[in-house]
Amino acid sequence: MTEDLFSEMTETLFEDKSILSEEYRPDVIVERDDEIDAYRTALKDVLFGRNPSNVFIYGKTGVGKTAVTEYIMNALQTEVSRRDAADELHVHFRNCNGDTVYRTVRALVNSIRGHNREKFPETGLSTSHALETLYEEMDSLGGTFLFVLDEIDHLSDPNTLLYELPRARSNGHLENARVGVIGISNNYTFRSSLSPKVKDTLMEKEIAFSPYDAGELQSILTARAEKALVDGACEESAIRLAAAKAAKDTGSARQAIDLLREGGDVAEEHGAEAITDSHIEVASERVQRGRVQNKLRDQTMHGQLILEAIARLEADGEAPVRSKEVQDSYERVAGRWSRDPLTTLKSIQNHLADLTMLGFLERTEQNEGRAGGVHYQYELTLDPEIVLETRASIETDA
């Protein structure tokens, strides 16, 4: 009977499974003392009512950039409330992935206005008008504003925003308010892509978050496991294995925590009393597949089509491949899914460069001398089977 379907599920290895979720923010950040100290130093001017520094945070996904930023912002706001010399602090977060400058500014205006006031229009006004409105809202409140712009490298035109905001006070747009920009990026080369005048304007502090090593990940997992799991629910060797696997792959705490959580699910499926190495091994296969699928779905349509094109070439034993071969396969894939393909080899090469930077592809340089010259060859860093399965699923859903 349906009412008995779940009746036998009376035991669990988890005390609080939410502690192993992506949304969880620990009260204490471990293994990031140097980065926290650099962050504190970069923002100390806020405590004395001075113009805040602009701060840029770099590092791969899952190395603590956002968690540390939120931790620092909370601590800074608490300290500001105790200081007579400090102006009132307003912190606003925005993820810029796929945003235009207008959409980002509009989101900041609406964040300042809150839920009880009229929303800024989605369309119909210029970016300059949106910026003017933002300055008006800031000046009407006064105090210090810190705009935390996550994935700032994915903003359509970061030069415009990063030129305007830091100069707003010196250009007379702000009288009662001060502003600082905190940019978070996975792209270590992002700054080099900015225009010279923006680089001169920013005068930013840079903090790089390196990937975690196995020891650091073990420390993080042990701290999480103590709160997330019931006593005795995980063998120490399983934590070491999860940490080692994540350190070898990406150095990501997120991946290590995913392995531990999934390992707990596997252990429960098998009716085990504790998570063991064998459960982590099974979890590793599941997490790897899910991670690749999620990363692939986050890419643009043309990025996905190019990855599928290379996956098909690899499945036929033709990798590594040159960009022209990728283009030919890409055009066939686009036709198969009734998509309009990019028309120039240069546009394909730009996507290949981006996908290489993001870690989807490995690029090797080939020098064939005077006869063939220098060119690049590409191959996937992912399992081509997972790429093809995911692409078929995406198109089916569409």
Residue numbers in the known binding site for ATP are 63-67, 212, 224
Annotation: binding site: 63-67, 212, 224
Q: Are 384 and 314 in contact (CB under 8 A)?
A: yes
DSSP string for residues in 198-245: HHHHH--EEEEEPPP-HHHHHHHHHHHHHHHB-TT-B-HHHHHHHHHH
Give the span between the Cα atoms of 250 and 242, in whole angstroms.
12
Alpha-carbon torsion, ordered 74, 76, 78, 82, to 10 deg: 180
Q: Which residues of 336-390 form beta strands (DSSP E)?
A: 361-367, 374-380
Alpha carbon 189 to chain centroid, angstroms: 15
Answer whether the bond into residue 166 is a cis peptide, omega within 30°.
no
Give the span between the Cα atoms of 146 and 94, in whole angstroms.
11
Q: Are 304 and 363 in contact (CB under 8 A)?
A: no
Parallel, antiparallel, or unpaired: how do β-strands 361-367 and 374-380 relate? antiparallel
Q: Are 232 and 224 in contact (CB under 8 A)?
A: no
| DSSP conformation class of 338 | T
Q: Which residues of the chain form beta strands (DSSP E)?
A: 55-59, 89-95, 143-150, 177-185, 205-209, 361-367, 374-380
Amino acid at 123: T
Helix (H) or strand (E) holding 94: strand 89-95
* Residue of 292, 283, 296, 222 whose CA lies nearest to 250: 292
Q: Are 69 and 214 in contact (CB under 8 A)?
A: no
